[in-house]
Chain A
Amino acid sequence: MIGWRSRRWEVLWLVSAMALIAFVVFPLIFMVSTSFKPPEEQLLAPPTILPVNPTLDNYQSALGQETFFRYLANSIMVTVATTILSISIGAFATFGFTRLRFSGRRTLLVLVVLGQLVPLAAIAVPLYQMANGLGLIDYLPALVLAYLAMSLPVTVWMLRSYMRNIPRELEEAAIVDGCTELGAFWRIVLPLSAPGIAATASYVFFLVWQEFLFVLIFTTRPENRTLPVGILDFVGQFETNWGNLMAASMLMAIPAMLAFVIIQRRLIAGLTEGSVKS
């Protein structure tokens, strides 16, 4: 910007940049380096910044545990199932909310969107009681169902912010040409909102992938846990196996981070609605 290049300004910028990097990187470094430290080195005080004798043992022993794959498989199943269900049911509802007019539309929309604001902890007890009454504790499809309570509101909220910006003229042309309302939505709106759907799906994936409270409540047997609760196996009562824990954490975090960095631009626009222009 014009007139913004003074010397003092440059120094201020440089200091800010370094502060930002230090703040972000400090925890990340220890996450990565601890995962490569051999056991003796993990307990050094003061700790080393980078591992002196880097090793892959922690990854090997995390992956060597049968339970890890069990958690991973559960995580993948639950997350993928929730994402697919949430997007398909949510997209159909968004079609109704953005393209059709029926009495009560606005009220229902506000109700759905307000669902985003409900604290999961507040519905945890009754959901637990319901699941318990039906004998669904430790039954993963029930966990998926519970996750829909969390994912559907945000799915509709985000999809709607993408779909409402697709001009209706395109559909109208198709409808004049003999397409049904639903057909026009299927053939025109859905393909055009593919990037928005991808961003929404990634966000749902990301939310469910790390969800913690419901797993804690809805599963009692270790073999039914997902990764967020599962990795805490390495936290002992008196001693924590930090190397294995960080290795497992890395394995859990990497897919989420990759997905995230790719979709982040669209995500912000979707979450804050049109109030941010892209």
Chain B
Amino acid sequence: MAGRRGSANGVDPAGPRVVVADASAGRHWSKSWSRQLLGYLAVGPVVLLLMALLVYPLLRTFNQSLYDVRPALQKNEFVGLDGFSDLIADPIFWTVFVNSLVWTIAVVGLQFAVGMLGAFVLDRAFPGRWLLRGLAILPWAIPGVVAAMVWRLIYDPQIGTLQIITGPLGIPPLDVLGRPGSALWGVIFAAVWKGFPFWMLIVLAALQSVPKEQVEAAAIDGAGHVGVFRNVMLPSMAPVIRIGVILTSIWTFNYFEMVYVMTKGGPVQSSHIFPTIIYEEAFRKLDFGDSSRFAVISMLLLLVLAIFFVREARKSEAL
């Protein structure tokens, strides 16, 4: 855990700041005052930039969500919360809502499963281990647009390389991305491929932190593989897994380009998730109001994850 390293060698991460200042008692006041100033100077640029580029735009999104803004129609009128009730009455909202949940849960869950499998394979010595490890990380290192295009090639109904697998099995070529029922799942599978290495690396690092003596002791006591895994390994990996779940959920929820490049939210808007509908409403339909409303609702959902994130980070003394 984060804090343990710091406190183990007696160092408070924030630092025993008084020691130095007390050395010259007379200068104590001016020193601490100048340190305050230095502190604000140091973090000032980042804070100001984020205020201008993150906080202000967010406030503007919130504000705009109360208006009907459609520049093409020269419209900009206050509608209050009516915009939200109209939106919630629209079936597309519920499609996006359900899709976003399915997308996030399925991608994170499957990435975790494949990542565990990868860690299980790599967590032992064998010839060529470094090579397999490097190979298995590659999907994560490939730019999202490229990964999306590669998977479009795989799914292509005419020349798609998926036929190499489905053909011999007697399955006719499937237009995975062209059907409302399967398009989102097609992207989910591609995103699992792209993102699982992060999980694999996290789990590998966590496995190395499992105390070997405990594993051996449990094995000697007659615990089977499953028992050792559940009672010894899982508990000591739990904090890492929790922070990983939160981080990857947020990344996945916010992930734009894979869905956009592979399906553009289609066919017939069946595979939209929040980020893609926000883009589509604003830059295709030029409806900035609805776009902002989707953005506000997606941020309220993210807020739940953010609270978990801060709580976990606090617990492991990372914040």
Q: Are A182 and B38 in contact (CB under 8 A)?
A: yes
Q: Among residues 112 to 149 in chain B, which have CB atoms less than 8 Å away from a CB atom of chain A?
A: 114, 117-118, 120-121, 124, 132, 134-147, 149
Q: Among residues 1 to 37 in chain B, which have CB atoms less than 8 Å away from a CB atom of chain A?
A: 1-6, 9, 11, 13-17, 19-20, 23, 35-36
| Residue A30 CB within 8 A of the other chain | yes
| Residue A93 CB within 8 A of the other chain | yes
- The distance in angstroms between the C-alpha atoms of A217 and B146, with both chains bound, is 19
| Residue B291 CB within 8 A of the other chain | yes
| Residue A194 CB within 8 A of the other chain | no
Q: Are A213 and B257 in contact (CB under 8 A)?
A: yes
Least Cβ–Cβ distance between A175 and chain B, in angstroms: 6
Closest to B241 in A: A275
Least Cβ–Cβ distance between A249 and chain B, in angstroms: 4
For B121, B154, B310, the residue with the greatest tally of chain A CB atoms inside 10 Å of its CB is: B121
| Residue A69 CB within 8 A of the other chain | no
Q: Which residues of A contact B16 (CB under 8 A)?
A: 168
Least Cβ–Cβ distance between A227 and chain B, in angstroms: 8
Q: Are B141 and A261 in contact (CB under 8 A)?
A: yes
Q: Which residues of A contact B151 (CB under 8 A)?
A: 27
Q: Among residues 140 to 170 in chain B, which have CB atoms less than 8 Å away from a CB atom of chain A?
A: 140-147, 149-151, 153-154, 158-161, 163-164, 167
- The distance in angstroms between the C-alpha atoms of A261 and B139, with both chains bound, is 11
Q: Are B47 and A112 in contact (CB under 8 A)?
A: yes
A3 with B219: in contact, given A27-B193, A274-B2 (CB under 8 Å)?
yes
Q: Are A21 and B135 in contact (CB under 8 A)?
A: yes
| Residue B250 CB within 8 A of the other chain | yes
| Residue B298 CB within 8 A of the other chain | yes
A275 with B282: in contact, given A101-B39, A122-B61 (CB under 8 Å)?
no
| Residue B253 CB within 8 A of the other chain | yes
**Chain A interface category by residue count:** 35 or more
Which among B52-60, B80-88, B180-188 touches the partner chain? B52-60
| Residue A36 CB within 8 A of the other chain | no
Q: Are A17 and B132 in contact (CB under 8 A)?
A: yes
| Residue A187 CB within 8 A of the other chain | no
Contacting residue for B163 out of A47, A90, A229, CB 8 A? A47
| Residue B174 CB within 8 A of the other chain | no
Q: Are A100 and B291 in contact (CB under 8 A)?
A: no
| Residue B95 CB within 8 A of the other chain | no
Q: Are B299 and A31 in contact (CB under 8 A)?
A: no
- The distance in angstroms between the C-alpha atoms of A97 and B38, with both chains bound, is 11
Least Cβ–Cβ distance between A218 and chain B, in angstroms: 11
- The distance in angstroms between the C-alpha atoms of A213 and B256, with both chains bound, is 7
- The distance in angstroms between the C-alpha atoms of A97 and B212, with both chains bound, is 36
Q: Are A108 and B275 in contact (CB under 8 A)?
A: no
| Residue A73 CB within 8 A of the other chain | no
Between-chain CB contacts (< 8 Å), 23 pairs: A1-B219, A4-B225, A20-B114, A24-B139, A26-B154, A45-B163, A93-B47, A101-B15, A117-B306, A123-B53, A125-B278, A127-B53, A149-B57, A164-B6, A168-B11, A210-B144, A216-B279, A228-B257, A232-B145, A261-B138, A274-B6, A274-B316, A274-B318
Interface residues of chain A, those whose CB is within 8 Å of chain B, are 1-4, 9, 13, 16-17, 19-21, 23-28, 30-31, 34, 42-47, 49, 89-90, 92-93, 95-103, 105, 108-130, 145-146, 148-149, 152-153, 156, 161, 164-165, 167-169, 172, 175-176, 181-182, 206, 209-210, 212-213, 216-217, 228-229, 231-232, 235, 242, 245-246, 249, 252-253, 256-257, 259-261, 264, 268-269, 271-278
| 10 A-B pairs with least C-beta separation | A274-B2, A96-B42, A102-B39, A210-B143, A260-B141, A149-B53, A126-B57, A273-B318, A122-B295, A126-B60
